């Protein structure tokens, strides 16, 4: 039996035009894989509500706990003030965790 | 560093025609944002199986624990008997939890 | 109030051509429902990176803890060596857990 490892799945949902820049960002943090899903969304930005609707990109990546925190911090610092973007992390159990962890 | 807050992500997957009514329902419970993903699905309704296939809508919203329970209860009470619908909640870590919590 | 039950949501993301065979596999393990989402992805296979890109299928199914482990083990044993495929499990809270558990 392969051993179970606990990692984090970080999800970032944002306007589609941020997609490539967000993927570059998570790669820079050491993410070795991700999926992108086209979603529709509506959400809040600061005090306003309903200020984005339409096609957004949801990016999911499985990383270590430390990398998850670093990615979420960067999203918050760089994007929360000016963009309708959300990010969250969930615990995930994986088999053969080395598949998901880069060399750094 | 922004503080991490533990909230719930509630997912509802149902036939597409329920989509707008379900979004109205989660808004009524105080949800301030959501994403909708087009998915294909097959599942059970009561004792029958495989009774829905094709384009369904998956609605995700991040809310407080109490709101998550209230939403799931309403889905169960109103829809479980007659519709092929599922709902579940997962723990999510977010930064700046106030983004996700409405004024009510 | 309906009682909350803790189950597992298993996610498998793989090239689209594996989709039907993976659905047959999870059915064989007793899964009674699933959703399939079209996603784009990039990930690692063994030591190589970036070896899959394009349209992939993400399959989600809610099952018991034991079934989740059995499905993930089979994915690892049969597919990890030769395919760009990932699988992970998360804890989910559901109402009326019997909806998700087959007769076996």
Higher pLDDT, C3 or A53: C3
Q: With contact defined as beta carbons under 8 Å apart, do B9 and B86 qualify?
A: no
**Do the chains contact at C43 and A33, CB–CB below 8 Å?**
yes
Q: Which residues on A lie below 8 Å from B1 (Cβ)?
A: 73
Question: How far, in Å, are A13, A55, B21, B36, C28 from residue A79 at the CA level?
Answer: 11, 18, 31, 22, 45
- A93 → closest Cβ in C38, C58, C89: C89
- What six digits make up the tokens of C17? 């051509």
Nearest C-alpha of chain B: how many angstroms from C64?
14
Contacts of A62 in chain C (CB under 8 A): 86, 88
For B10-41, b where at least 16 C-beta lie within 10 A, e where not — what string? bbbbbbeebbeebbebbbebbbbbbbbbbbbb
Which chain B residues are within 8 Å of C4, Cβ to Cβ?
Answer: 69
The predicted complex's ipTM stands at 0.86
CA-nearest of C40, C10, C6 to C25 is: C10
β-strands B86-95, C4-15: how paired? unpaired
Nearest residue, CB atoms, A95 vs list C41, C43, C87: C87
Contact C29, C70 (CB under 8 A): yes
Tens digit of each residue's pLDDT (9 = 90 or more) over C19-74: 999 999 999 999 999 999 999 988 754 333 344 445 899 999 999 999 999 999 99
**What residues have CB less than 8 Å from A68, skipping those under 6 apart?**
A8, A10, A89
Tokens of B102: 């409405």
Give the separation between CA A18 and CA A23, rounded to whole angstroms. Answer: 9
CA distance B15 to chain A (A): 16
Q: Which residues contact A47 (CB under 8 A, 6 or more apart)?
A: none
Instruction: Specify the pTM.
Output: 0.89
Find the closest chain C residue to B9 by CA distance: C92
Q: What is the pLDDT along chain B (104 residues), one digit of tens a residue?
A: 668 899 999 999 999 999 999 999 999 999 999 999 999 988 754 333 344 445 899 999 999 999 999 999 999 999 999 998 999 999 999 998 777 776 54
Contacts of C95 in chain B (CB under 8 A): 72-73, 75-76, 80, 87
What is the CATH code of the structural domain delimited by C4-95?
3.30.70.120
Listed as ranges, residues in chain A with pLDDT below 50 are 45-53, 104
Decide if C49 and A32 are in contact by the 8 Å CB cutoff: yes
SS3 letters across B33-100: CEEEEEEEEECCECCECCCCCCEEEEEEEEECHHHHHHHHHHHHHHHCCCCCCEEEEEEEEEECHHHH
Region for C48 from its dihedrals, namely left if φ exceeds 0, alpha if ψ lies in -120 to 50, beta otherwise: beta
For the CA atoms of B13, C62, C14, B58, what is the dihedral angle to 10 degrees? 10
- What pLDDT shows up at residue B43? 73
Nearest-CA distance B83 → chain A (Å): 23
Report chain C residues whose CB lies below 8 A from the CB of A4. Answer: 69
pLDDT of residue A97: 75
Distance separating alpha carbons of residues B52 and B41, to the nearest angstrom: 7
What is residue A79's DSSP assignment?
H
Which of C2, C34, C37 shows the shortest C-beta gap to B42? C34
Q: Is C91–B91 a contact, with Cβ atoms under 8 angstroms apart?
A: yes
């Amino acid at each position: 039996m392969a051993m179970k490892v606990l990692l984090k799945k970080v999800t970032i949902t944002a306007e589609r035009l941020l997609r490539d820049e967000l993927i570059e960002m998570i790669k820079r943090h050491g993410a070795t894989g991700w999926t992108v899903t086209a979603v529709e969304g509506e959400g809040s930005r600061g005090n306003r509500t309903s200020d984005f609707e339409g096609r957004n990109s949801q990016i999911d990546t499985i990383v270590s706990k430390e990398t998850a925190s670093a990615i979420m911090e960067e999203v918050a610092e760089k994007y929360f003030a000016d963009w309708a973007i959300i990010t969250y992390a969930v615990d995930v159990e994986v088999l053969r965790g080395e598949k998901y962890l880069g060399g750094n």
